[in-house]
Structure 1
Amino acid sequence: MSSALYTGVVSHQRLRPLRHRLRYRVFSLLLDLDELPALAARLRLFSLDRFNLFSFHRRDHGAGEPEGPRAHVERQLRAAGLPVGGAIRLLAMPRILGYAFNPLAVYFCHAPAGALQAILYEVNNTFGERHSYLIPVDPAQDSAWVNQRCDKRMHVSPFLPLDMHYRFRVRPPGEQLSIGVQTHDAQGAVLLARLDARRRPLTDGALLRAFCTHPLLTFKVIAAIHWEALQLWCKGARLHPRPPAPAEPVSFATRPSPDHTP
Structure 2
Amino acid sequence: MNTTLQQSALYPGRVMHQRMRPARHRLAYRVFSLLIDLDELPELAQRLRFFSLNRFNLFSLHEADYGARKGKDGNGHNLRQRVDEQLTAAGLLAGGPIRLLSMPRILGYAFNPLSVYFCHLPDGELQAILYEVNNTFGERHSYLIEVDKDQRALSTQGVPIDQHCAKEFHVSPFLGLQMDYGFRVQAPHVDQPEMRLDITASDADGPMLFARLDAHRRVLNDAALLLAFFSHPLLTLKVVGAIHWEALRLWVKGVRLHVRPPAPTRSVTVTKAEES
TM-score by length of structure 2 reads 0.91
Matches within 5 A, 1:40-119: 40-63=45-68, 65-119=75-129
Does residue 39 in structure 1 map to residue 44 in structure 2? yes
Match of 1:220 among 221, 235, 238: 238
Equivalences for residues 1-262 of structure 1 within 5 A: 1=5, 2-63=7-68, 65-141=75-151, 142-143=154-155, 144-174=159-189, 175-256=193-274
Q: Structure 2: where are the runs of 5+ without partners? A: 70-74
Distance 1:102 1:7 in 2: 15
**Structure 1 SS opposite 2:149:** coil
Contact 2:68-2:140 at 8 Å conserved across structures: no
Distance 1:9 1:68 in 2: 30
**What is the rounded CA distance, in whole Å, between the counterparts of 1:166 and 1:8 in structure 2?**
22
Which segment is superposed worse, 44-53 or 140-149?
140-149
Which whole-Å deviations, capped at 9, do the CAs of 1:69-122 have from their partners, x for residues lacking one? 222211111122111110000000000000000000000000111110000000
- Considering only aligned residues, what root-mean-square deviation do their CA atoms show, in Å? 1.3
- Report how many aligned residue pairs link the two structures: 258
Which runs of no fewer than 5 residues in structure 1 stay unpaired?
A: none
Q: For residue 161 of structure 1, what is the amino acid of its counterpart?
A: G
Report deviation, 1:63: 2.4
CA contact (8 A) 2:198 2:210 kept: yes
SS of the equivalent of 2:162 reads strand
Work out whether residues 10 and 23 of structure 1, in 8 Å CA contact, stay in contact via their aligned partners in 2: yes
| AA aligned opposite 2:98 | I
Instruction: Report the secondary structure of 2:227's partner residue.
Output: helix
Q: CA–CA distance in 1 between the matches of 2:18 and 2:93?
A: 37
Question: Segments of 4+ in structure 1 off by > 4 A?
Answer: none
Identity over aligned residues, as a percent?
64
